[in-house]
Amino acid sequence: MEKRIDRADWNRNAHDRLFARLEVPFYSLTWRLDVTEAAAFAKRNGISFYATLIWCTMKAMNGVEAFRYELRKDEVYLLDHRNPSYTYQWDEELFGICGAEWIDGENPKDFAARLKALEAKNASPIPTAESDAAGHDVYISSLPWIDYTHVAQEFPLDNTDSTPRVLWGRYETDEKGRKTLSYTVQVNHRLIDGVHLMRLNEALTGAIHDLEEL
């Protein structure tokens, strides 16, 4: 379900109006994310590290209300949840795109198996609008070959675009065995401030740590 927000009662209505004056109200932040437990969980269960971190990302993002706001012309909606739309390796040279429904409460092992099955059904690397019907997406990708320090992501020149964009790089292992990677989130400042990115990081770190108990 989704809920239309009454702007008169919306606590960030003035902030939205401020950044709505900009043609490009988007910004991004990159930080080092400790993924030691995620890598261990994936190895322990014989599943994809990439799928594991997508699951952690979606669990965290759906748990922070600000990431579920969506602009539609001059109206604002609060979504019940967002769904992952992610890239994956189609062949040696090309990536594919796969959209999946987020199922609240689904464990990461079942989630990873479901993504693998969805990818196998894709008839072409770039889905048509009809075949990619999940909607309300979070766009997710990775650069598993590169430990990057900066990235600029693509976006439409539409200042109502409400889709968070997430990217991460190759993880590096330090002398203590901890694994970290560059993790980037791009958002619309009309909807999301720095405090919400802080809350996302806390929720994401918590989701990764909780994998030790699964």
Tell me the pLDDT band of 132, cut-offs 50, 70 and 90.
Answer: low
State how far the Cα of 205 lies from the Cα of 183, in Å rounded to an integer: 12
* pLDDT for res 25: 98
* pLDDT for res 135: 63
* Distance set, CA 174 to CA 36, 61, 143 (Å): 11, 27, 19
* pLDDT for res 28: 97
CB 84 within 8 A of CB 58: yes
Angle at 198 between CA 99 and CA 173, to 5 degrees: 75
Tens of pLDDT, residue by residue over 41-94, are 999 999 999 999 999 999 999 999 999 999 999 999 999 999 999 999 999 999
Local structure of residue 118 (DSSP, 8 states) = H
Backbone angles phi, psi at 87, to 5 degrees: -90, 155
Tens of pLDDT, residue by residue over 138-179, are 999 999 999 999 999 999 999 999 999 999 999 999 999 999
Does domain 2-6+20-213 match CATH 3.30.559.10? yes
Tokens encoding 200: 């996302």
Query: Domain residue spans in the chain?
Result: 2-6+20-213
Q: What is the dihedral of CA 130, 68, 109, 214, to 10 degrees?
A: -170
SS3 of the chain: helix, strand, coil, percent, to 5: 35, 25, 40
State how far the Cα of 166 lies from the Cα of 151, in Å rounded to an integer: 11
Q: What is the mean pLDDT of residues 123-138?
A: 72
Tens of pLDDT, residue by residue over 99-121, are 999 999 999 999 999 999 999 99
Tell me the pLDDT band of 128, cut-offs 50, 70 and 90.
Answer: low
